[in-house]
Structure 1
Amino acid sequence: MTALILALVAGAVIGLALGGLGGGGSVLAVPALIYLLGFTTAEATTASLVIVTLTSVTALAGHARDGNVVWRTGLLFAAAGIVPAMLAGAAAGHLPQAVLTVAFSVIAALAALRMLRPARTGPESGARVNPGKAGAAGAGLGAVTGFLGVGGGFLAVPALVGVLKLPMRRAVGTSLLVITINSLAALGARAGTGMHLDWAVVAPFTAAAMLGAWDGKRLSKKLKGGTLQRVFAYVLLAVSVSMLLDTLF
């Protein structure tokens, strides 16, 4: 019963962040699964991909309904990350737990610091996009998703704004399309590893995250400025530092 309650609470928090921010919430799924629910790092990163995929689809539906998803741009961006996501996902299963945990901690800390920086506002009419930069950004995002089991929205949103010149609202919506595709590719690479997941925990965790994603989208319209983002960033920074210290010492 305790595990079920923890799974529901953690899932709801992660869904709120993912729905409200268009990314970043999934970064907390891995430490929640490890420290609250007793998963190994490898199990947590794989379970996180399941949670991220289904939650992103839920959040994506809401943003698509509001016209905030640029489908062609998102599909092209995601296409560059499919192969890296699959390769990184396959490689992650052969690395020591400590390496995965340290890598995750560093990426999570960078994500938190990125969220604390002032948000850039993309132009309403896109400037000329550099295909090389767009491809590199998409490939890098795919690799992070596959390797660490996170959606990578904290990287996708600034890349869609800065590289592909999308306005912020559309970047948030489009990032969810990219996250969904990359997560599916990474899951495909891990499907044949024979890893057992505790679905009695993963299923309610995912369900709570999906419901939270809808509320997160509504919450983002009510909170002033980047309040939700800043609060989440501080929590994420604290978690990443704790994970790093626990692994190294």
Structure 2
Amino acid sequence: MNTLILALIAGAVIGLALGALGGGGSVLAVPALIYLLDFSPASATTASLIIVTATSATALYAHARDGHVAWKTGVLFAAAGILPAFLAGAAAGHLPAAALTAAFAVVAALAAVRMLRPAAAQLPERVSPLKAAGTGAGLGAVTGFLGVGGGFLAVPALVGVLGLRMKQAVGTSLLVITVNSLAALIARTGTSGGDLRWEVIAPFTGAAILGAWDGKRLSAKITGRTLQRLFATVLLAVAGLMLADVVW
């Protein structure tokens, strides 16, 4: 299939994931860039951060307009992750690609299993600033280390740890993704291997941004629990594929 068509299709799918689920874009973008579009792992990581930063910022605007962003919690959560994301992103460049892939797959699978559990009674939305900052710092470190936006971890953390409603967690996670992805991208500047192909990245990003708007409309028609199940299913599938790639 033509490279441009593949880039447009993959971008639209990643955009739908970010717009509807508040995450999952990087989880899908990295394998798509490597296995469908022939990027090297290093370049795929950097390219995915470019794509996800632009797309999540667009999707954030749409969710914020509808009042689905907990700004105080989100700002604390995101700000606490900036330095850890930057430092971990720089350190990750010194580790073998297989080790990073395996770690990513394990973390994604654990997050998916947690979201598939029956929903527990949620906490009040008055969140301790220290709790938000501590959770955000941990997420930032994982985001920088694994080279992804972190939405697949941000949504479960915002729901399960900080007690936000699912739709509000989706919107708030987009703020976290935008900030953490930008910090990780800055840390990785100059380490992409020199083969970033903008003729692929540009249409991929454009399709993802358009897909994010459709994803936002989709999220308004689906219950929070259904979103969680869809999100977890995607995570488990991707984790399984990446682990299989490492083993075989």
Structure 1 residue aligned with 2:215: 216
Relative distance call for 1:50 and 1:79 in structure 2 (3 A) is same
Relative distance call for 1:48 and 1:86 in structure 2 (3 A) is same
Q: Is the 8 A contact 2:167 2:224 kept in 1?
A: no
Deviations 1:55-98 (A, max 9, x none): 10011000111111222221111111001100111112222121
Partner Cα distance (1:66, 1:144) in 2: 29
Partner Cα distance (1:60, 1:226) in 2: 21
Deviations 1:133-186 (A, max 9, x none): 322211111112212222212221232234333333222211111111111111
Deviations 1:82-137 (A, max 9, x none): 011001111122221211221222223223323433445645x5345261x32221
Structure 1 residue aligned with 2:163: 165
Partner Cα distance (1:14, 1:115) in 2: 20
Partner Cα distance (1:99, 1:136) in 2: 26
Q: Which amino acid aligns with 2:205?
A: T
Structure 2 residue aligned with 1:195: 193
In the TM superposition, residue 235 of structure 1 has moved relative to its aligned partner by 3.9
Q: Which amino acid aligns with 2:206?
A: A
Structure 2 residue aligned with 1:245: 244
> What is the correspondence of 1:27-38 to structure 2 with a 5 Å cutoff?
27-38=27-38
Pick which of 188-197 and 231-240 moved more.
231-240
In the TM superposition, residue 192 of structure 1 has moved relative to its aligned partner by 3.5
Q: Is the 8 A contact 1:130 1:163 kept in 2?
A: no
Partner Cα distance (1:139, 1:210) in 2: 27
Q: Which amino acid aligns with 2:162?
A: L
Relative distance call for 1:62 and 1:130 in structure 2 (3 A) is closer
Structure 1 residue aligned with 2:179: 181
In the TM superposition, residue 204 of structure 1 has moved relative to its aligned partner by 1.2
Q: Give identity over the alignment, percent.
A: 73
Cα RMSD after superposing both structures: 2.1
Question: What SS does structure 1 have at the residue aligned with 2:10?
Answer: helix
Q: Which amino acid aligns with 1:104?
A: F
Q: Is the 8 A contact 1:122 1:168 kept in 2?
A: no
Q: Is the 8 A contact 1:24 1:111 kept in 2?
A: no
> What is the correspondence of 1:16-55 to structure 2 with a 5 Å cutoff?
16-55=16-55
In the TM superposition, residue 40 of structure 1 has moved relative to its aligned partner by 2.0
Count of residue correspondences? 247
Q: Which amino acid aligns with 1:237?
A: L
Relative distance call for 1:233 and 1:165 in structure 2 (3 A) is closer
Partner Cα distance (1:212, 1:236) in 2: 19
> What is the correspondence of 1:82-93 to structure 2 with a 5 Å cutoff?
82-93=82-93
Runs of 4+ aligned residues of structure 1 deviating over 6 Å after TM superposition are none
Report the TM-score when normalising by structure 1.
0.89
Task: Structure 2: state its 5+ residue gaps.
Answer: none
Q: Is the 8 A contact 1:18 1:24 kept in 2?
A: yes
Partner Cα distance (1:116, 1:29) in 2: 23
Partner Cα distance (2:238, 2:116) in 1: 15
Q: Is the 8 A contact 1:121 1:167 kept in 2?
A: no
Report the TM-score when normalising by structure 2.
0.90
Q: Is the 8 A contact 1:145 1:152 kept in 2?
A: yes
In the TM superposition, residue 228 of structure 1 has moved relative to its aligned partner by 4.9
Pick which of 58-67 and 188-197 moved more.
188-197
Question: What SS does structure 1 have at the residue aligned with 2:235?
Answer: helix
Question: What SS does structure 1 have at the residue aligned with 2:220?
Answer: helix
